[in-house]
Amino acid sequence: MIFSERYRFVPERAALQVAEIDTALRNRLLTRLDQFILFSRWQNKYVGWHDRLEYKDLAPDIQGFVFRFWDQYLKKPTASMPSMVSDIREEMRTVLANCWWYQLYDFLEFCLSTFPFSAAASRKEDFVGKCNDVLSQEKSAYRIVANQVTRITDLQEVSAIEEAQDLGDRFATVSLHVNAALRLLSDRKNPDFRNSIKESISAVEAMCGIVAGGKRPTLTDAIAALESKGVTVHRAQRDAFVKLYGYTSDAGGIRHAMLEEATLDFDDAKFMLVACSAFVNLLKARMA
């Protein structure tokens, strides 16, 4: 908390920014976009940066990014694209300064999937880190996780999910379930909390099946098989996950197609994703 908020000269923002981006957050994200995207690598080895740089003089990979911005993001005819780079940049900044809050997050994801960052992998990681710092400091309810802007706010939660998303080749099926759960949870237009929960618990089942010898038993049987192989699972943890499994599989639960039930929400799905990610990470560690 900064001085003016600490001593109540200005009110501290109490609520997370869920369906909004205030001026401070927008401006700071635009600064990071200027630093890493809009004023980064926009030249080739023959033509340096100057006011008269034209689109045709851009490096081919930057030309491709600009073309996709016009075609895929703006969905404008590319014939309307200015020839001068300064005009292209100005159009980009105008759009981003005035778009809806979710469209700015759309653009972040667009850049993460299409912008040709420098060959050094750390450049993209640095961009993500700087954006996440801003999102945290300005109390956004979102963070960038695996190239997606996701409604997860706790750094420990992010760390657990990121670890579970890339467990290695042997556990690829587990990571597929984790990725699916995150995708269903983070879809801002049509989030599917019910199926996100199903994917999260399926990640635990898949991990137990791998450790237990490739079978797909019930969670209770799988944990028993793990323990018979000397993989230690604390009794409290075992009991908690057996109960969680029951939450998703009993006669009144999610897997029995009670699609009319409207009580599941983001917090239910987020809790299950974080808890199951942490559990599969624990099982992998126990195996080691």
The string of DSSP codes covering 148-176 is EEES---HHHHHHHHHHH---GGGHHHHH
Helix (H, G, I), strand (E, B) or coil at 250: coil
**Could you read off the pLDDT of 138-182 as tens digits, one per residue?**
878 898 988 899 887 566 777 788 888 888 888 889 999 998 988
Residues, the chain: 288
Bridge partners (DSSP) listed for residue 145? 148
What's the Cα-to-Cα distance from 128 to each of 131, 135, 154, rounded to whole Å?
5, 10, 16
**Could you read off the pLDDT of 92-102 as tens digits, one per residue?**
999 999 999 99
d(CA 22, CA 140): 9
Tokens read off for 130: 């700087």
Q: Are residues 140 and 234 in the same domain?
A: no
What's the Cα-to-Cα distance from 149 to each of 95, 113, 129, rounded to whole Å?
19, 12, 13
Q: Are residues 7 and 50 in the same domain?
A: yes
**Could you read off the pLDDT of 76-116 as tens digits, one per residue?**
998 999 999 889 989 999 999 999 999 999 999 999 999 99
Q: Are residues 11 and 144 in the same domain?
A: yes
Name the phi and psi angles at 78, rounded to 5: -65, -20
DSSP-H helix ranges across 84-120: 85-98, 101-114
Helix (H, G, I), strand (E, B) or coil at 18: coil
Measuring CA to CA, which residue among 282, 281, 51 is closest to residue 175? 281
Residue 9 has pLDDT above 60, yes or no: yes
Average pLDDT on 245-260 reads 54
- What residue type is 16 in one-letter code? L
- What pLDDT score was predicted for residue 283? 81
- What residue type is 178 in one-letter code? V
Q: Are residues 216 and 110 in the same domain?
A: no
Q: Are residues 235 and 144 in the same domain?
A: no
Nearby residues of 287 by Cβ (< 8 Å), 6 or more positions away: 211, 231
Choosing from 150, 172, 204, the residue where a domain stops is 150
Measuring CA to CA, which residue among 241, 238, 242, 264 is closest to residue 253? 264
Q: Are residues 86 and 208 in the same domain?
A: no
CB atoms within 10 A of CB 200: 31
Q: Are residues 141 and 169 in the same domain?
A: no
Residue 190 has pLDDT above 70, yes or no: yes
Is residue 55 within 8 A of residue 87, CB to CB? The reply is no
d(CA 34, CA 26): 12
**Could you read off the pLDDT of 202-219 as tens digits, one per residue?**
888 888 888 777 666 567
Q: Are residues 11 and 128 in the same domain?
A: yes
Q: Are residues 224 and 255 in the same domain?
A: yes
Counting the structural domains of the chain, the total is 2
Choosing from 99, 121, 150, the residue where a domain stops is 150
- What pLDDT score was predicted for residue 153? 58
Q: Are residues 130 and 161 in the same domain?
A: no
Counting beta carbons within 10 angstroms of the beta carbon of residue 14, is it exposed (0 to 12), middle (13 to 18) or buried (19 or more)?
exposed
DSSP-H helix ranges across 187-218: 193-211
Tokens read off for 205: 């089942």
Q: Are residues 141 and 174 in the same domain?
A: no
By residue range, what is the domain housing residue 22?
3-150
Q: What percent of the chain has pLDDT over 90?
A: 27
Q: Are residues 146 and 178 in the same domain?
A: no
